[in-house]
């Protein structure tokens, strides 16, 4: 008679351990507080170590290294432009551009060492001004990819540079109390008309002005945001700007919601106050 495999295993088990009852319960286990405390401590330390290693690994995986740029090539390329191309790109003549760069260096190149460590080379005042001029001339943010900067930082660069320009330049002024300067401004307008029209149909022009809109995101304020929505349908700030015959701003104000009428805004400008009150 053949025996099943389970019967053979059971007989072998009995040969080794006999007929002793090997069953036990948790009540039969002896409690040792020292061993239990050590075991809990070991498990706690192990858990903390695993979590720490997991967090460190996830940070390493999720954070990509900074891209390093060789910006010297970009600077050389900008300097290689002829005068016509330079003016088309920056809307400034070369002399005025680099004169402004020299004034901006103390403000815009304070953290040069940090920039060198972060991306391989700092973003110089020259490059920041070139980027800002291109954006103000109508270029898109994505067009700045060949300027050797991250397109995600272009807006920060433009904002920083514009603030710095406002600190070093004070050239937006109207010489309303200088009669000779006013006469010269009028003379320049006469010459401009004579050059383009062959005559002076409107003598005595001092400045040309207009209102224009600067597009913004929907304001998050207690006031009704719809007052910033202009007739074209988007949110904006209204500016009033006046320039001389050489397109140099003499008065520039930006303090009205986009829904404001040009005439209403003009009647609240410094120029209107000067003309009506004789000041």
Gap between the Cα atoms of 279 and 269, Å rounded: 13
Adjacent-strand bridge partners of 243: 208, 249
Q: Is residue 30 pLDDT above 80, yes or no? A: no
Would you state the pLDDT for residue 158? 94
Would you state the pLDDT for residue 237? 93
Would you state the pLDDT for residue 13? 44
Q: Is residue 38 pLDDT above 80, yes or no? A: no
pLDDT in tens, 87-129: 999 999 999 999 999 999 999 987 656 555 555 578 999 999 9
Would you state the pLDDT for residue 113? 60
Half-sphere exposure of 242 (CA within 13 A, CB side): 16
Would you state the pLDDT for residue 208? 93
Which pLDDT band holds residue 61 (cuts at 50, 70, 90)?
A: very low
Highest mean pLDDT, choosing among 80-84, 119-123, 145-149, 175-179 = 80-84
Gap between the Cα atoms of 27 and 224, Å rounded: 74
Contact by Cβ (8 Å): 138, 104:
no
Which pLDDT band holds residue 173 (cuts at 50, 70, 90)?
A: confident
Highest mean pLDDT, choosing among 54-63, 169-178, 195-204 = 195-204
Which pLDDT band holds residue 148 (cuts at 50, 70, 90)?
A: confident
* Proportion of the chain above pLDDT 90, given as a percent: 46
Would you state the pLDDT for residue 29? 45
Residue from 83, 66, 79, 94 nearest 127 by CA = 79
Which pLDDT band holds residue 26 (cuts at 50, 70, 90)?
A: very low
Would you state the pLDDT for residue 58? 53
Q: What is the DSSP string of 4-31?
A: PHHHHHHHHHHHHHTT------GGGSPP
Would you state the pLDDT for residue 99? 95
Mean per-residue pLDDT over the chain, rounded: 80
Of 27-31, 136-140, 160-164, 188-192, which range is least confident? 27-31
Would you state the pLDDT for residue 88? 93
> How far from 2 is each of 8, 12, 71, CA to CA, in Å?
10, 16, 88
Q: Is residue 1 pLDDT above 60, yes or no? A: no
> How far from 21 is each of 8, 244, 246, CA to CA, in Å?
19, 110, 110
Q: Is residue 195 pLDDT above 90, yes or no? A: yes
Higher-pLDDT residue of 237, 173: 237
Average pLDDT, integer, range 17-34: 50
Q: Is residue 85 pLDDT above 90, yes or no? A: yes
Q: Is residue 77 pLDDT above 90, yes or no? A: yes
Higher-pLDDT residue of 196, 45: 196
Higher-pLDDT residue of 51, 205: 205
């Amino acid at each position: 008679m053949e025996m099943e495999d389970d019967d053979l295993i059971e007989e072998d088990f009995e040969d080794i351990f006999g007929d002793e009852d090997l069953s036990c319960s948790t009540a039969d286990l002896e409690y040792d507080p020292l061993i239990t405390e050590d075991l809990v401590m070991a498990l706690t330390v192990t858990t903390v170590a695993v979590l720490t290693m997991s967090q460190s690994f996830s940070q390493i995986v999720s954070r990509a290294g900074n891209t390093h740029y060789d910006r010297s090539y970009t600077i050389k390329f900008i300097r290689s432009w002829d005068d016509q191309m330079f003016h088309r790109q920056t809307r400034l003549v070369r002399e005025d551009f680099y004169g402004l760069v020299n004034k901006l260096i103390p403000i815009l190149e304070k953290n040069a060492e940090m920039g060198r460590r972060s991306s391989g080379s700092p973003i110089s005042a020259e490059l920041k001004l070139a980027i800002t001029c291109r954006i103000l001339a109508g270029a898109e943010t994505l067009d700045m990819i060949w300027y050797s900067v991250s397109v995600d930082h272009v807006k920060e660069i433009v904002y920083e540079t514009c603030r710095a320009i406002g600190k070093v330049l004070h050239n937006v002024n109207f010489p309303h109390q200088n009669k000779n300067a006013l006469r010269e401004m009028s003379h320049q307008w006469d010459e401009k008309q004579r050059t383009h029209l062959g005559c002076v149909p409107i003598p005595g022009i001092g400045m040309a002005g207009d209102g224009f809109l600067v597009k913004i995101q929907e304001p998050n304020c207690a006031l009704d945001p719809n007052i910033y929505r202009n007739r074209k349908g988007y949110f904006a700030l209204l500016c009033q700007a006046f320039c001389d015959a050489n397109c140099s701003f003499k008065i520039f104000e930006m303090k009205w919601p986009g829904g404001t009428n040009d005439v209403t805004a003009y009647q609240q400008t410094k120029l209107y106050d000067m003309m009506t009150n004789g000041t």
